[in-house]
Amino acid sequence: MEGELQRCLGQRLRAVRTAAGLSQEEFADRLGIHRTYIGGLERGERNVTLRTVERIADRLGVEAITLLRGEPDASRPAAPPLVVGTLPPG
């Protein structure tokens, strides 16, 4: 399905952010990007580069592939759990 990876990334980012108890603005500040960009990512509206995914994953302390994998289904292996805790200082 077109845009599936964008939506998956957005869902995973929102899950990390909410689990950390952060607003979009706080999350964006910690990642070093603008709040409206985070909103677009979370809604699956932004077509990001792999380099951007790598940078975000690095700041979150996870592997980039972890952010791109969605909920497990019978046709593919489950994504490793996200490590959610205190984000590195911005």
Neighbours of 57 (CB within 10 A): 19
pLDDT tens digits for 76-89? 444 445 554 555 55
Residue 66 pLDDT exceeds 60: yes
**pLDDT score at 23:** 93
* Distance linking the first and last C-alpha atoms of the chain: 35
> Which residues is 42 bridged to in the sheet?
none
Thinking of the domain 4-67, which architecture would CATH place it in?
A: Orthogonal Bundle (1.10)
CA dist 80 and 63 (Å) reads: 9
Residue with tokens 């990512």: 41
